[in-house]
Chains A and B, each alone.
Chain A
Amino acid sequence: MSSSSGPAAAAAAAAAADSHRKKRRKIEADDAEETSRGRKTAGAGVGETTWRSLPQQRLYYTRLVEALSRSRRSSSASSAEAQDAAAASASASASSPPSSGAGEVRGIADRVLATAAKGRSRWSRAILASRLRMSRLGKHHKKARAPTGRGPLKKKPPPQPALEGGARKRRLPAVERRVKVLGRLVPGCRGISMSSVLEETSDYIAALEMQVRAMTVLTQLLSGAQQQLPPTTTTTTSGGQIGSGSGSGSG
C-alpha cells in the first residue's frame, strides 16, 4: 500500500470497511452452507473444531454480540415495556416467573455455539434441529423427537455381551450407566454408542468452556461499564478487556 494523502486514504478505508462487511456476510453464508453440508458428512470428525484457539473465541464472541444486538433491535420497545410492566408487577407480587430474557439469551448463545461447530458434531446438530422444530411447532413442543443416530447405528440397547466369552471382560455396568447419564446431558446423545458419547462429550465440554468465557467477558464489559463510566465524558469504552490481553484494536 503506497502512502496516500487524505481523501485517497479515506476512500481506501471505506473500501476496506465495505469489503469487511461483505466478508462477514460471506462468512455467514458459508457457515449456513457448511452446516447443511456437514449433516451429510456426519462423522467427519468431532475432534476437528479447536474451541480453545483465540480466533475461534473471538469469532464466537463477535457472532454472539451480533446475534444479541439483532434480537434486541427486533424486540425493540414493545418487549421493553412488557418487561418493565412485569418488573413492576413482580415487585408487588412475591412469586413471579423469571423474565423470558434469560432463556432467550441462553437460546441465542447456544444457537451461535452450535453454528460455530459447522455441523461436525452431533450435539450441535441436535441443538439446531430442536430449535428449528420448536420454532415450527410452537414453544409447547419440547424436543420429543431428538435426532438420534440414523446412520449405521441401529436402535438397539447399549452393547451388552450375550456371553462373557474368553478373555473379554464384561464392560462394567457402572461405566455403562455413567455413560448413559452423560448421554442425557449432552444434547442429541441418547441411545448412541458409548464411544460416540465420549467423543461428543469432550468436544461439547471444550465448546461450553468457550461459551462461558465469551459470555463472562461480555457480562463484565457491560456491567463494568455501567458502574465506571462517568456521566459527562465521551471516552472510548473500556474495551481492553476483550480477548485475552492482545490488542483488539477497537476504535
Chain B
Amino acid sequence: MSSRRSRSRQSEGGSRISDDQIADLVSKLQRLIPEIRNRRSDKVSASKVLQETCNYIRSLHREVDDLSERLSELLADSDSEQAAIIRSLLM
C-alpha cells in the first residue's frame, strides 16, 4: 500500500485520515475523469470532482448495460449462418 501519511493532528474519534490524503486521492480521481481531464484546469473543487466521478460511473454502468443487451441479442441470434460461423471460430 502506498505510504499512509498518518498525520492525525486532532485525532477525531480514531480516524487518522488527513485532509491531505483526501486531497491526494481526489486529485488522483481528477486525472481519471475525462470530463475534467480535458478541461486542463487545476482548480477544480473537490466537490465538483466527486460529482463528475459519480456521473462518470453512472454513465459507465449505463454503457455496460447497453453493451450487455446488444451482446445478448447478438449471441442469441441463431438465425444467420454467418453469426454461427463467427461464434464457432471465436469461441
A83-B76, A208-B64 known; A156-B13 Cβ under 8 A:
yes
Interface residues of A, count at CB 8 A: 71
| B35 at the A interface (CB under 8 A) | no
- With beta carbons under 8 angstroms apart, the residue of B17, B64, B74, B80 that contacts A194 is B17
Contact with B along A126-165 (1 / 0, CB 8 A): 0000000000000000000000000000101001111101
Complex: how many Å from CA A181 to CA B52? 12
Q: Is the CB of B68 within 8 A of A103?
A: yes
Q: How far is the CB of B39 from chain A (nearest CB, A)?
A: 17
| A1 at the B interface (CB under 8 A) | no
Q: Is the CB of A206 within 8 A of B82?
A: no
| B29 at the A interface (CB under 8 A) | yes
Residues of A within 8 A of B (CB): 43-45, 47, 65-66, 68-69, 72, 80, 83, 98-99, 101-106, 109, 154, 156, 159-163, 165-169, 171-172, 174-175, 178-179, 181-182, 185-186, 193-195, 198-199, 201-202, 204-206, 208-209, 211-212, 215-216, 218-219, 221-223, 225-226, 229, 231, 234, 236-237, 251
